[in-house]
Chain A
Amino acid sequence: QQQVKQSPQSLIVQKGGISIINCAYENTAFDYFPWYQQFPGKGPALLIAIRPDVSEKKEGRFTISFNKSAKQFSLHIMDSQPGDSATYFCAASTGGSARQLTFGSGTQLTVLP
């Protein structure tokens, strides 16, 4: 019940395209859903996060869509750029950002020039 399932495992997108990564969860007590971007040799960097009381949050080219009834959330990267090539992790926690995170398995995104 604590798992967060992420798909796809890898994704290849052309420059300028839309990258979409999906996550699903079972634990309805989760109330904080962040996305992280990780480059090789670096720690995960917080991209954007959402709480379940909103259905969408946008920051620049990054948008989280949240479907509470389906227990799913997704990351959309608009106008994808080669510099976006990285591994993306979804995560979830109970008790907001102050609690430990349960991570998805990660998606390796490659944006072709």
Chain B
Amino acid sequence: SAVISQKPSRDICQRGTSLTIQCQVDSQVTMMFWYRQQPGQSLTLIATANQGSEATYESGFVIDKFPISRPNLTFSTLTVSNMSPEDSSIYLCSVRGPSFGQYFGPGTRLTVT
């Protein structure tokens, strides 16, 4: 499986500010995915990030609110902009591993006050 790390692991932020979440993978991957998991809920895809191209956003998510960077094949960032309490969630990145499977990072737990 792929080894995925995320930073920060958790943060408490004030309304109106922005937070950038980092995702680092131990191997080169073409596609990285960003998901949101609201408290007690399932996972919802935010966007798909390919290296060298613009991220593809799912319905209900826009680039101005969740800008994504993908500078190389092992790293990506997701920024949560102009935060409100409704953005309080766990944010997860995932990648396809070297074998049959898609693997998730440990997540970033965000609380917006």
- A interface vs B, CB < 8 Å? 34, 36, 41-46, 49, 89, 93, 96-106
The total of interchain contacts (Cβ-Cβ below 8 angstroms) comes to: 55
- B interface vs A, CB < 8 Å? 1, 4, 30-31, 33, 41-45, 48, 58, 92, 94, 96-97, 100-107, 109
Chain B residues within an 8 Å CB radius of A96: 100
Contact A106 B105 (CB under 8 A): no
Majority DSSP secondary structure for residues of B touching A: strand
Chain B residues within an 8 Å CB radius of A89: 42-43
Chain B residues within an 8 Å CB radius of A98: 30-31, 96, 102
Majority DSSP secondary structure for residues of A touching B: mixed
Contact A34 B43 (CB under 8 A): no
Contact B109 A41 (CB under 8 A): yes
